[in-house]
Amino acid sequence: MSDASTWTLRTPLAEVLPAGLSRKMAQLGLRQVGGLLAHVPMRHAFEEAEAPIAELAEGSVVSARGEVTATRVAGSGRGRRFEAVLCDDSGRLDLVFFNQTYLAKKIHAGHRLRVQGTAKRRGPGLQIANPTFEILEPEGEDDEPNARDERLRPVYPATEGVTSRDVERAIDVVLAPGLALIEDHLPEPYRHERALPALHEAYRMLHAPQSEDEVRAARRRLAYDDLLLLQFGVQMRRAHLRERCVAPALETGPVIDARIRERMPFALTPAQDRVVREIAADLAQTRPTNRLVQGDVGSGKTAVALYAMLLAVASGHQAALLAPTAILAEQHMSSIEAMLEGSKVRTALLTGALTASARTALLERIAAGEADLVIGTHALLTDSVRFRSLGVAVIDEQHRFGVHQRGVLRGRAAASPDGREVVPHTLVMTATPIPRTLGITIFGDLDVSTIDRLPPGRRPVRTRAVLPTERERVYAFVRRRLERGEQAFVVAPSIEAEEFAGVNALVEELRAGPLRGLEVEAVHGRLKKDERDAVMARFRAGASHALVATTVIEVGVDVPNATVMVVEGAERFGLAQLHQLRGRVGRGRKGGVCLLVGEAKTEAAAQRLGALVATSDGFRLAETDLEIRGAGEVFGAKQSGASTMLHADPLKHRDLLELARRDAKAWIARSPTLDSASERLVRDRVLKRHGEGLGLADVG
Ligand code: ADP
Ligand code: MG
């Protein structure tokens, strides 16, 4: 064994632990002193002080020790079990281990055991089923009964053949000398101000807590560190972008403002107004804007995006609008073209539907700056798309793209004369409102604008969940609405392979049955662009009554006269998706109705449907969605940085997240690259954890 005074956190456990124990730790992936210290308990069990067997209290968790006097394997099938009799001077305790007959090879008469579990009365004596146990040395210090008082005992993540108890033994060896090696990356006054324990104290409090308060304080410290390091990474990247990249400063002012507003068929709402002002202030700077515009479905994000794009065009630059689906890109194109009619703004639509030659021609126009406002799908993201001077890039419905794709439009512009990279101002629009707290984790480097009010005159969509057995009534209701001149969407459940068959079957059924005599049309992903355009155009013009669709109409589609949304197989859709679908109706002055036809077969499905019926507030629903699914699943572990969150849960630690964000922001504002000597440790830790993921390689 090596001398503890020569240890570092990298000292191999093989040099400090007995061979058997170090092999066990290696099975858990723990090979160095530091790694073992970082292997913190998942929870703590409150351990009773030991008592003589005769004094054990029935019905409570007890600890005792004694000698095994007899063992046997008994029962059969599911009831198969290993039994042992434990005796001390005062009495006898029966132990029974279900499904653990392998213990017959481990525990023998004559062994001394320390056991813990819930004592139950069985006949004349007490019994503990499936106790935790520890085989004691035949003689030694362990043998002192009642040596321990009641205490909190750490329960460690363990694995087959390696118990929490093994980890505890290994920790016993390294804890005291190891703690002395832990350096804190936060200065004492800083910690003090935030009531955070020192790092070595936090580890001590987890491995050997004196109270539950200590456990809480320690976990808070480690969670704070997780969040702070991520926020540091995010803020450093942001500072880096600001320093090394420039965007064209876009002119604003009352004249341009009035000219843009004149183009809109409505006056902006106060909420839109505020967001537009926030954006215009950003765009007037050469510092590249990175702003998230969030607003519930139907809150009017398109007008805000258009405003920003027209600012770019007014200053002689180009603008791009990236939409997640062709239908949405086409819709944006037609509504924007309508608003720009008679103006000099040259628009262009770039989707995968273009022929090769049309595409080439369009790319040339874009590169020559002959297209001012380019709307497109993913096709805009390919390398061959080069703008002459892209001033504003808007990514619509960003949740459909995934976080990693944001910023792709960056770097498409030419390099600047002074060596700095010229990037467009970027606006990211989302209608799946991201709960603020989580947004901070993921979009820590974005500013956020929120359109928090819907345009005037909207009435909430009435939502009902109905069983499939009530379909007849559902469509009778739909029919009455259609006969009044309103329109309906009917969404078929989207199982990829069958989606298209599903839509067609549903159309046939409705045409032949409940909606006989009315115009029912279908739209889905397999339809050619021309046909799809024609179908959408007829529906928009009111020439068809009902549109049966897959989720291609999920986002963005805007037909104010549509008042009814029927979702078939509603239990199969996600919460955000259903909220989006519901957002297709109730856009005009007539109230909307959303009928969710389905039968929840899981608890989660029932919760989803229940939540939709209960509220139409997208922010509340997004929170509910997170609660049902967990942050990792909603945003993907990588995107949310969840894989680097060892101790923090952005949902549980909201206040801490906010604190860490403010702290990191202030700190980075003072010291953008963390390069003073006293910051060496924190910088190393940020880069080690997030350097690669956040592309910080060349920061500083
Ligand atoms: P989303 O935020 O979901 O993208 P849209 O931009 O599609 O919402 O707008 C939803 C509907 O509200 C559209 O029909 C649009 O014309 C209308 N709208 C947007 N802003 C206003 C406003 N200020 N006053 C009246 N109607 C508006
Ligand atoms: Mg939209």
So where are the chain's domains?
A: 49-149, 247-451, 462-632
Single-letter code of the amino acid located at 364: E
| Cα(407)–Cα(413) distance, integer angstroms | 12
637 confidence band (pLDDT: 50, 70, 90): very low
Q: Is 295 helix (H, G, I), strand (E, B) or coil?
A: strand
Q: Which of 327, 428, 558, 580 to mutate to test the pocket of ligand 1 (most atoms within 8 A of CB)?
A: 558
Please name the residue that has the structure tokens 């805009």.
Answer: 380
pLDDT single digits (tens) 509-521: 999 999 999 999 9
Q: Is 295 in the pocket of ligand 1 (CB under 6 A)?
A: yes
Interval 34-85: pLDDT, tens: 999 999 999 898 777 788 898 888 887 788 899 999 999 998 888 889 999 9
Index of the ligand 1 atom closest to the CA of residue 304? 6
CB of 300 shorter than 6 A to ligand 1: yes
Axis crossing angle, helix 603-614 with helix 575-582, rounded to the nearest 10: 30
pLDDT score, position 68: 95
* Sign of the CA dihedral with 416 first, then 418, 421, and 424 last: negative
CA angle in degrees (0–180, nearest 5) for 531-534-535:
85
Statement: residue 305 has pLDDT above 90 = yes
**Helices and strands, number each (H, E), in the chain:** 22, 23
Q: Which atom of ligand 1 is nearest to the CA of 451?
A: 2
Give the per-residue SS3 of 521-570: EEECCCCCHHHHHHHHHHHHCCCCCEEEECHHHCCCCCCCCEEEEEEECH
The residue whose CA has the least distance to atom 27 of ligand 1 is: 455
Is the shortest distance between the CB of 298 and ligand 1 below 6 Å?
yes
- Domain at 49-149: CATH architecture: Beta Barrel (2.40)
Contacts of 407 (CB under 8 A, 6+ apart): 426
Residue 583: name the closest of 563, 605, 606, 599 by CA: 563
* Residues 6+ away with beta carbon under 8 Å from 631: 438, 441, 640, 642, 649, 650, 651
CB of 273 closer than 6 angstroms to any ligand 1 atom: no
The mean predicted confidence, pLDDT, of the chain is: 85
List, in order, residues 6 or more apart from 104 with CB less than 8 Å away. 71, 72, 73, 82
Residue 587 Cβ < 6 Å to ligand 1: yes
| Distances, alpha carbon 558 to alpha carbons 286, 301, 587, in Å | 34, 12, 7
Nearest ligand atom owner, CA of 303:
1
Percent of the chain at pLDDT > 70 equals 87
Residue-wise pLDDT for 434-450, tens only, equals: 665 566 565 566 788 88
| Residue bearing tokens 């880069």 | 687
Q: CA 114 → CA 137, 144, 148, 232, 301, distances in Å?
A: 10, 11, 12, 47, 66
Per mean pLDDT, which of 307-311, 527-531, 577-581 is the most reliable? 307-311
Output the pLDDT for position 689: 81
Architecture of domain 462-632: 3-Layer(aba) Sandwich (3.40)
Nearest C-alpha neighbor of 215 from the set 193, 197, 242: 197
What ligand has the least distance to the C-alpha of 618? 1
pLDDT at residue 623 is higher than 70: yes
CA 553 to CA 364: how far, in whole Å?
31
Residue whose structure tokens are 């049955």: 513
What is the chain's alpha carbon radius of gyration, rounded to the nearest angstrom? 32
Return the pLDDT at 399: 60
pLDDT attached to residue 404? 39
Contact between residue 565 and residue 595 where contact means Cβ atoms under 8 Å apart:
yes
pLDDT of residue 547: 93
Nearest to 380 by CA among 399, 370, 394, 397: 394
Q: Fold match between 247-451 and 462-632?
A: yes
**Residue 196 CA to ligand 2 centre (angstroms):** 44
Residue 408: is its pLDDT beyond 90?
Answer: no
Rounded distance from Cα 315 to ligand 2 centre (Å):
25
Q: Pick the more confident residue, 415 or 583.
A: 583
Class of domain 247-451: alpha beta
Mean pLDDT within 324-350: 90
The Å distance, Cα 347 to ligand 1 centre, comes to 21
Tell whether ligand 1 has an atom less than 6 A from the beta carbon of residue 268.
yes
664 lines ligand 1 (CB under 6 A): no
At residue 104, does pLDDT exceed 50? yes
Kind plus residue range of the DSSP H or E element containing 611: helix 603-614
CA of 430 to the centre of ligand 2 (A): 8
What's the whole-model pTM score?
Answer: 0.66
Structure tokens at 372: 């001012």
Q: Cα separation of 34 and 259, whole Å?
A: 64
pLDDT digits (tens, 9 = 90+) for 467-508: 999 999 999 999 999 999 999 999 987 645 555 667 888 899
**532, HSE (Cβ side, Cα atoms, 13 Å):** 19
